[in-house]
Amino acid sequence: MMIRTTCTTATAVALLAALTAGCGTTGMNPHGVNVTEMKADERGFVAGTGIESQDLVAVADKMARSILATTQIANAQGKPNIVLEPVVNETRFPINKEIFLTRIRVALNTKAGGKVTFLARDRMDALEKERDLKQTGKVTGGTPNAPVEFKGADFILTGKLQGISTRSNTGASDYVLYTFQLIDPRTSAILWEDFAEIKKQGQSDAVYR
């Protein structure tokens, strides 16, 4: 009778230990490293010398503030229409470069208090299709043979990323220059321009995708 009780107790302890161990692995990846949620403007422990989220946040916020302070926007009569043009990436990093303009646009729409209007030129196919459906009377809301109502741009917002990279046996160094411009599409004049620059160095490099 004593032997049976001892075995039962040992089995219960073993099951409890197994359950406890199973609970302890919840939320961990196969390599045993916990996933850490961080703010986008924080530098994480997985980092390299390239363009990262904290750089995106810092640069985009600076550009948004600078655009709002420029005379052409601050003293504009009405709401200027802005069109986004692709950013040129001349760095060695294969990043999604358009994310900078997206971040600037969202920051301006959030903080500008209706001072500017962004035109969705990247959605022209869908917009033209909807316009044609309305003009032909296939859907409601349009006037047959109505003139084109798409607005023209008062400003074009674009940018360029350029870099200088250095490699040696002791590590890596990368300098990235971020420049953005507001251009008058009628005259091609650069009405506003600002920049940010970030330099990083480290003993090892990361893979950017």
| pLDDT > 90: percent of the chain | 53
pLDDT digits (tens, 9 = 90+) for 94-127: 888 899 999 999 999 998 888 999 999 999 999 9
CA distance linking residue 172 with residue 72, whole number of Å: 41
CA distance linking residue 130 with residue 148, whole number of Å: 12
128, pLDDT greater than 80: yes
Between 23 and 89, the higher pLDDT residue: 89
7, pLDDT greater than 50: no
189, pLDDT greater than 80: yes
Give me the residue spans of the domains in the chain.
Answer: 1-35, 38-126+152-202
CATH code: domain 38-126+152-202 is 3.40.50.10610
Give the residue among 56, 41, 36, 92 at the shortest CA–CA distance from 206.
92
Confidence of residue 38 (pLDDT cuts 50, 70, 90): low
pLDDT digits (tens, 9 = 90+) for 53-65: 899 999 999 999 9
Spell out where 15-154 has E strands.
81-84, 88-90, 117-118
Confidence of residue 135 (pLDDT cuts 50, 70, 90): confident
